[in-house]
Structure 1
Amino acid sequence: MTLSTRLRKIAAALWPGTLASQLIVLLLVAIVVAQALSLWIFHDERRIALVAAARDNLLSRAVALAGLMEDTPPDLQERILVASSSRFAVFWLGDTPLAPTPGSSRIEHRLQGYMAKDLKPGQAVHLNILADEKRGPPRRKDDDDDKRSWRDVPRPERPKNLHRIMNKPEDLSISISMNDGRWLNVATSYRPPAGAFLPLLVQLALTALLVVLIVGLALRRVTRPLKDLSVRAEKFGRGEEQEPLTPSGPREVRALTTAFNDMQDRLTRFVKDRTRMLAAISHDLRTPITSLRLRAEFIDDDENREKVIETLDEMAAMTEAALRFAKDEAQAEKAENADLGAILEALAGDQQDLGHECTVVESSERIVLPCRPMALRRALRNLIENGIRYGEAVTVSAEIEDHEAVIRVRDKGPGIPADRLKDVFEPFVRLEESRSEETGGIGLGLAITRSIIHAHGGRISLTNRPEGGLEAVVRLPLGAGR
């Protein structure tokens, strides 16, 4: 098994199966992707805001403070610098510039030009943007000597209030030369603290929680009637009598429920009408067949009389069988859960009491399925009796495969020609090679069996076994509970 196949199997196992869970997962993925794209698109927002703030406020303050320091007595300069500093910007006078050289980028050139307009002749300004293009702590190359952090300031030259931003990422360094040879240094850090993304995560979590609650409640209104409809359709497929569903949910779901109710009503009436018609025809044929049989007794030719009577007897048997079939179909047997193993054991015991060889292979687990027990017994009895009649000995087994109850009836007979395997399920069809009038019926047994199996929502098929004999395979659904 290749890696891609394993990954596909793992993904299929992890992917939720219900409509509600799939839609919730897709919405959550969409929210997370949208938030990630928003963060990526606006990742430079903080740096742009920094430049704008520096142009409008910080640079003007630095230039004004440089001019003020020239006119302030030395004993007051330190107090003014401390008062001008904040938790985002620190001012101090030092012998060396914090920014050793002027910045070389386009933005740095523009800002340095903006400040130089307000400086006195002979004053120089060095401005370095130390923040990365991307959001997060800056990454400075080890061999980049043009960019100097305030962490590189010798400890004796560090101002007392530099500790305010020492643990923050660097954003901007400014150095303005003074007439006495010193430099007015400005260190800034307008970066958000380390936990700045926590509100975003809380917002994302609250959004996801609200999506799950709202979508879950909305989908429950949609999927609940759909689930009821699925259960009713499965029971109706097994031939159980069902009351019409009450339409509920959105308009589309109500329309679907109404259409299902109409379909169920039409099919039920169609089957009942056909059954009643078959019963009526079979019943009405009794009188003319009886009359013809009485008239046949007056035929002088013995040979012709016997053949006519034999034909009429066969017609009478066919009529009685059709009438019994119609009556059985008209009976509304209530569906219930039945033990399939017990049914097979009882049928095999009946055949053994008659002296026939019929064996049931014990199943490894108990199989309980919803069915109409009397009808199912009749279908399985027909299969077993056919196997005994034409194959002498029968072996019956039952097991669970792919959420279905699979029943296999095997005999040791000659089998059936491959091109006639499907024909034997048609009403009144007999294979003359092995099903003579002396040993066979009239050809309704397998037709009745198939009708009953289909009414239970199952399937039936016949195959010739390689080692000889015929195998009938019946597959019945286990119901929604399995």
Structure 2
Amino acid sequence: MKRLTWPASMASQLFAILLLGVIGAAALAFITASLERRQAERHARSQRLSDRVVDLKAVLEAAPEGLRATLLGPGPEAPRLVEGQVPVGTPDPKLTGQLAQRLGGAANVLVSELPGEACRPRPPPAPPAARPLPPWPPDPSGGRPPPPPDCRLIALDLRDGQRVALIFPLGPKAPPADRPPLTPAFLLVLAIAAAILALVVSRLATAPLARLSKVATALGDDLDQPPLQIEGPQEVRQAASAFNAMQIRLKAHVQERTQMLAAITHDLQTPMTRQRLRLEKVGDPELRAQLIADQSAMLDLIRDGLDLARMTGETEPLVELDVDSLLHALCEDAVRAGHDVSVGGETGLTIQTRPQALQRCLSNLLDNALKYAGAADLSASSELGVVIRVSDRGPGIPSDLLEAVFQPFHRVERSRSRRTGGVGLGLTIARTMAERAGGDLQIANRAGGGLEASVRLGARSPTSALGVRNR
């Protein structure tokens, strides 16, 4: 049997709490109203009984003793004079006190609640006819005996000293039509109304959080996006103000870091240039070549680090870009540089993206493939968006390192040595640029050897504002 779990989302939790709360409150209100109605009915019946007893006592005291029994009218709801042994009932002190207050202490009133069967009136004697009479009182249920009436035994002293015992039926209870309807249709309408109310309230309560979550996700792609609007309840306005303040601090931090790295790089240019000139004067050719290679690696590290830092601070608008034109332009540039690069397939698609970021991503992947395989293939296809692939037949990467190579300064020593490789920032920059363009970069080993890098555009969240369409 599957256990019920509490909803995970805030909207679902609010919906469940409000739905159960409204239904519970309605049920409690219905029960409370029913109890109060019953209490009011009992009080009204007791008041009517008190009036009947006072009026009947006055009538009996005015009539001769021999005619008193005949003054009681017939019928199941008329009071009856008890003759002979008085039945024993349960004392009713509340009604006893009420009558004693109205009739005075001389009446010596005593009220008892009789069991149901003792309240039934005796049927009239059957006439000497052969045909039996119908049951008395008449049975409106068509054969089923009616329920015993609710009655009270009231014993009191008349003015002349005679003590009489009277059985007073309390009369019928309130008809069902006068009571609140508790039918399946009523409960269904109540549940639907509560569900609609809970849904509206949960949506109103979680809409600001959803908007804040969307803007916070988009902040990772663009620090220069417009600030949140300060609106809504006080708590929502405070959260929006705090978020906008955080965005301002992040922008200031990134700008400060970029400026610092740019200044460091600029200041290093002069001593590195002087060092290069001095290295050219080294007499040993082999040592000179090694020293120059080390200095070039240092310069590459500085430049790549500066480029990586600048990426988070730069902004680029979204524009329409022809995928096939971009791939052909990259291929032509590589061929002019003497590299073996080919383009396969035509997509006929245009995408809304950041072209400089996407071009930088593909250029890094292309340089990576040419560096380790000597040749590369560019292709694109339409698969829930656009997928651009850069493939090579190089040594590949071990499967357990396919994700680790995206970490800054991580290098695969065996297959991609320092002599032929970079400083370990190429794939890091490529993935960052892919995300900035509105896509995602993944790499995988090819069947038969080699590596395939796939940039999937259109698979990310809507915060990237990426669109794909046919030309």
Q: Deviations over 1:83-112 (max 9, x none)?
A: xx9xxx942779x99xx9836445499869
Out of 51, 60, 65, the residue aligned to residue 57 of structure 1 is 51
Alpha-carbon RMSD: 6.2
Residue 428 of structure 2 corresponds to: 447
5+ residue gaps, structure 2: 126-132, 141-145, 156-164, 467-471
1:430 Cα deviation from its structure 2 partner: 3.2
1:191 matched to 2:178: no
Q: How far apart, CA to CA, are the structure 2 residues paired with 1:239 and 1:405? A: 22
Out of 120, 125, 149, the residue aligned to residue 148 of structure 1 is 120
Q: How far apart, CA to CA, are the structure 2 residues paired with 1:390 and 1:69? A: 128
Asked if structure 1 preserves the Cα contact closer than 8 Å seen for 2:113 and 2:153, the reply is: yes
- Paired residue secondary structure (1:287): helix
Change in 2 beyond 3 A, CA 1:71/1:321: same
- Paired residue secondary structure (2:11): coil
Change in 2 beyond 3 A, CA 1:184/1:425: closer
Q: Deviations over 1:370-426 (max 9, x none)?
A: 8645424533554566467657778988877xxx99999887765545775565334
Residue 257 of structure 1 corresponds to: 240
Asked if structure 1 preserves the Cα contact closer than 8 Å seen for 2:344 and 2:380, the reply is: yes
| Normalised TM-score (structure 1) | 0.61
Asked if structure 2 preserves the Cα contact closer than 8 Å seen for 1:128 and 1:147, the reply is: yes
- Paired residue secondary structure (2:78): strand
| Normalised TM-score (structure 2) | 0.62
Out of 62, 69, 78, the residue aligned to residue 91 of structure 1 is 78
Asked if structure 2 preserves the Cα contact closer than 8 Å seen for 1:129 and 1:171, the reply is: no
1:333 Cα deviation from its structure 2 partner: 0.5
Change in 2 beyond 3 A, CA 1:129/1:425: same
Asked if structure 1 preserves the Cα contact closer than 8 Å seen for 2:364 and 2:430, the reply is: yes
1:215 Cα deviation from its structure 2 partner: 11
1:266 Cα deviation from its structure 2 partner: 0.9
Change in 2 beyond 3 A, CA 1:173/1:314: closer
Change in 2 beyond 3 A, CA 1:18/1:276: farther
Q: How far apart, CA to CA, are the structure 2 residues paired with 1:225 and 1:152? A: 78
Residue 38 of structure 1 corresponds to: 32
- Paired residue secondary structure (1:231): helix
Asked if structure 2 preserves the Cα contact closer than 8 Å seen for 1:93 and 1:184, the reply is: yes
1:264 Cα deviation from its structure 2 partner: 0.7
Residue correspondence of structure 1 range 463-482 to structure 2 within 5 A:
477-479=460-462
Q: Deviations over 1:313-335 (max 9, x none)?
A: 33344444445555555431024
Q: Deviations over 1:124-179 (max 9, x none)?
A: 9996465xxxxxxxxxxxxxx556389999769769xx9xxxxx9875236899xx
Out of 213, 219, 226, the residue aligned to residue 236 of structure 1 is 219
Q: Deviations over 1:12-53 (max 9, x none)?
A: 59x983676456425413422432553576586257536743
Query: Partner amino acid for 1:277?
Result: M
- Paired residue secondary structure (1:334): coil
Give the number of equivalent residue pairs: 424
Q: How far apart, CA to CA, are the structure 2 residues paired with 1:281 and 1:437? A: 24
Q: How far apart, CA to CA, are the structure 1 residues paired with 2:303 and 2:66? A: 127
Residue correspondence of structure 1 range 96-245 to structure 2 within 5 A:
102=87, 104-107=89-92, 128=114, 146=118, 148=120, 172-173=150-151, 186-189=168-171, 191-198=173-180, 220=204, 223=206, 225-245=208-228
- Paired residue secondary structure (1:234): helix
Change in 2 beyond 3 A, CA 1:227/1:422: closer
Asked if structure 2 preserves the Cα contact closer than 8 Å seen for 1:348 and 1:360, the reply is: no
Residue 23 of structure 2 corresponds to: 29
